[in-house]
Chains A and B, each alone.
Chain A
Amino acid sequence: MARLASGREATVLIDGNNFYASCEALMDPALIDRPLVVLSNNDGCIVSRSAAARALGIRMGQPWFQVKDALERRGVLVRSSNYALYADMSQRLMSVLEEWVEELEIYSIDEAFGLLHRPGPASDGSGDLTDWGRRLRRDVQRRLGLPVAVGIAATKVQAKLANRLAKAAGKGMGRGAGEGVFDLGAVADPDPWLEAVPIEDVWGIGRRLARWCRLRGVANARALRDLPSGELRHRCGVVGVRLQQELRGIACLPLERLPAAKRETCVSRSFSRPIDNLPQLREAVATYTCRAAEKLRRQRQRAGALTVFVRSSPFNGTSFYANAATITLPLASHDSAALLAAALPLAERLFNPHKPLQKAGVVLQQLQPETLLQHHLLVPQSPEQERRRRALMAVVDGLNRRYGSGTVQWAACGLHRPWAMRRGQLSRAATTRLADLPTVLALH
């Protein structure tokens, strides 16, 4: 904590505005300034809205089937979630942000915390980072075409608040607020700002704690900051006190610079409609297994164990069914065929004809570096066999990368996949697949 004595460290939260919708409009200019919504998995509900769609009063989380007709009548455009595009743009965003801060913690697909030093004390004008934040925003806009909001403060919890204030529309109260950049450390009196943030919107406040606060008359971030610590400790222990300390500007949550090496990898999806027969469940589990194996090979890892899980719809009430089965592999592997041989019997074991399934998933565990090759007396595989399997996998992965996933696949994955998630409005993998590049016209 001694390092904080100078009061010159600043924590910044950079967060993409309408990230999915913004990515879509970047690669398809017909969407620019148009009302656009992006749907969740299986085209279920609205997960991202362009500014024009927000202006129409469209809310997050609305189920698509409920609002479909009304929105189509109003000319609202719609896209399914295009993970290939968003993941690529996310990586680009994070590498640009790395250049702007001293330390970066990637927090979610479109959010990152950063750490930097103020050029002077925050209390006088010399430490104000608002202009720095504006330059950062302009740089991201120019290089990536994505709008971001920048919140700057002393701690992570404060930076989250500042980011909210940066995004708050039509405030006009102080420098940067509502314009995409807000430096909480540079305002003369932070209290009115903290009062503007309802207790429910403080980062880390659960719904239950928020309700407790409300009952005690603690309605906003300022009131929580000024609540006697003892009461908070009594109610929710060290977690609550830490949160409060952060609100007071004392950093308790360190930046996590490097994500720990991945210990497992999971592929799971909901089905477009419940699966009640084994052949379809086998296809789904095979598809997820192959996808997970591909991820593993890209990470240059092998799995020592594999879990298959299934569940029925949680809205089924009494007949809810969830189950999982794990197998330890005789030899750590990232070979799709070997993992399929392990996964399919598990799918059979978990299948129950009286329990229609809504979701299944495959988790690869005990991941280890590819280079760590252990030999097993019971599973003879010659170096030559091993080499040929690897060459085959490399060819499969190369084709799928180039021509789109699913170009080459194992027969067990099925052809028609009636169970597969609906992504009826999917845009193209415009930044990651050669066959999907957008067209630039040289026609006039």
Chain B
Amino acid sequence: MHAVMPDPSPEPSAEPFAGLSRRPSDPQLTLLGGLTAAERLRRWPLPLAGATVAAGFPSPADDYVEGRIDLNEVLIRHPSSTFFLRVSGDSMRDAGILDGDLLVVDRAIEPRAGLVVVAVIEGAFTLKHLHRHRGRWRLEAAHPAYPPLELGDGDDSRIWGVAIHAIHSL
């Protein structure tokens, strides 16, 4: 692997553990680990109010400056685990997802009944509604013509991610 990509490992510095003193550590916080800690620490975007003016009169509009709407913030909750796919077909038409839509998929979201999911069926990404039926997961199309598909016990891994938006260009 190292022969293929340049190895970015830096030179070891002379000072052992020089980096250690920079951040006070809280073992409890660390051990909360993973998504829980991640969610806690997630920095919510702050409004950009109150631009400072070095001299002269402040603009009366300063108090209202907020920064523009960023679609990334609107559409993406977890950037690391978000993927985009292109929809092909109309079997999810009744869920409002049309052929050619850009699908935003977030793998960090736990699949639950009622959500639209990307499932791996016969080696292909397939878009379905996830339902619970007699104690089993069931994948259903949002189209009367297509029959549902029951998932077996070991089939959880077939759910690839949860679709959270379908972007439809007019």
Is A378 at the interface (CB under 8 A from chain B)? no
**A109 adjacent to B5 (CB under 8 Å):** yes
Among B51-59, B65-73, B84-92, B130-138, the stretch in contact with A: B84-92
Is B102 at the interface (CB under 8 A from chain A)? yes
Is B16 at the interface (CB under 8 A from chain A)? yes
Residue of A nearest to B146 (CB): A444
Residue of A nearest to B27 (CB): A117
Residue of A nearest to B5 (CB): A109
**B27 adjacent to A119 (CB under 8 Å):** yes
Closest-CB distance, B86 to chain A (whole angstroms): 5
Indicate whether A255 sits within 8 Å of B19 (C-beta atoms), given known contacts A101-B30, A119-B27, A440-B127: yes
Chain A positions 286 through 323: 1 when the CB is less than 8 Å from some CB of chain B, otherwise 0? 00000000000000000000000000000000000000
**A47 adjacent to B141 (CB under 8 Å):** no
In angstroms, Cα B10 to Cα A252, docked, is 15
**A254 adjacent to B107 (CB under 8 Å):** no
In angstroms, Cα B162 to Cα A346, docked, is 53
Instruction: List B contacts of A20 (CB < 8 A).
Output: 1
**A441 adjacent to B20 (CB under 8 Å):** no
**B125 adjacent to A29 (CB under 8 Å):** yes
Residue of A nearest to B143 (CB): A442
**A254 adjacent to B20 (CB under 8 Å):** yes
Indicate whether A103 sits within 8 Å of B19 (C-beta atoms), given known contacts A438-B125, A440-B127, A442-B88: yes
Is B4 at the interface (CB under 8 A from chain A)? yes
Is B8 at the interface (CB under 8 A from chain A)? yes
Instruction: List A contacts of B34 (CB < 8 A).
Output: 99-100, 135-136, 139
Residue of B nearest to A106 (CB): B8
**B124 adjacent to A437 (CB under 8 Å):** no
Is A354 at the interface (CB under 8 A from chain B)? no
Is B152 at the interface (CB under 8 A from chain A)? no
Identify A254's interface contact among B19, B38, B141, CB under 8 A: B19
**B107 adjacent to A29 (CB under 8 Å):** no
Is B64 at the interface (CB under 8 A from chain A)? no
Is A86 at the interface (CB under 8 A from chain B)? yes
Instruction: List B contacts of A442 (CB < 8 A).
Output: 87-93, 97, 99, 126-127, 141
Is A69 at the interface (CB under 8 A from chain B)? no
Interface size on B, residues (CB 8 A): 64
Identify A83's interface contact among B5, B11, B22, CB under 8 A: B5
Identify B124's interface contact among A8, A143, A144, A441, CB under 8 A: A441
In angstroms, Cα B90 to Cα A187, docked, is 56
- B-facing residues in A394-444 (Cβ within 8 Å): 431, 434, 437-444
Instruction: List B contacts of A95 (CB < 8 A).
Output: 79-80
Instruction: List B contacts of A365 (CB < 8 A).
Output: none
Identify A251's interface contact among B2, B16, B25, CB under 8 A: B16
- A-facing residues in B97-132 (Cβ within 8 Å): 97, 99, 102-103, 107-108, 118, 120, 123-127
Instruction: List B contacts of A32 (CB < 8 A).
Output: 120, 123
Instruction: List B contacts of A260 (CB < 8 A).
Output: 10
In angstroms, Cα B19 to Cα A117, docked, is 15
Is B23 at the interface (CB under 8 A from chain A)? yes
**B5 adjacent to A107 (CB under 8 Å):** no
Is A30 at the interface (CB under 8 A from chain B)? yes
Is B12 at the interface (CB under 8 A from chain A)? yes
Residue of A nearest to B125 (CB): A440
Question: Interface centre among B20, B28, B97, by most A CB within 10 Å?
Answer: B20
Is A81 at the interface (CB under 8 A from chain B)? yes
Closest-CB distance, B154 to chain A (whole angstroms): 13
In angstroms, Cα B141 to Cα A103, docked, is 45
Residue of B nearest to A258 (CB): B19
Chain B positions 23 through 59: 1 when the CB is less than 8 Å from some CB of chain A, otherwise 0? 1010110110111011001000000000000000000
**B89 adjacent to A441 (CB under 8 Å):** yes
Closest-CB distance, B124 to chain A (whole angstroms): 5
Is A253 at the interface (CB under 8 A from chain B)? yes
Residue of A nearest to B107 (CB): A143
Instruction: List A contacts of B88 (CB < 8 A).
Output: 439-443
Closest-CB distance, A258 to chain B (whole angstroms): 8
Instruction: List A contacts of B80 (CB < 8 A).
Output: 92, 95-96, 143-144
Closest-CB distance, A147 to chain B (whole angstroms): 12
Is A212 at the interface (CB under 8 A from chain B)? no
Instruction: List A contacts of B87 (CB < 8 A).
Output: 439-440, 442
Instruction: List A contacts of B91 (CB < 8 A).
Output: 442-444
Question: Interface centre among A100, A110, A145, A444, by most B CB within 10 Å?
Answer: A444
Identify B16's interface contact among A27, A81, A253, A443, CB under 8 A: A253
28 residue pairs bridging A and B, Cβ less than 8 Å apart: A1-B16, A3-B21, A27-B83, A41-B4, A81-B4, A92-B80, A96-B81, A99-B35, A100-B33, A102-B30, A107-B8, A107-B9, A117-B30, A118-B27, A135-B33, A143-B107, A144-B107, A145-B160, A254-B12, A254-B17, A254-B20, A255-B19, A439-B88, A439-B125, A440-B103, A442-B93, A442-B97, A444-B91
A sample of 13 more A-B contacts (CB under 8 A), given A110-B1, A253-B16, A254-B20, is: A27-B83, A101-B30, A102-B30, A106-B8, A145-B160, A259-B8, A437-B86, A439-B87, A441-B88, A443-B88, A443-B126, A444-B91, A444-B141
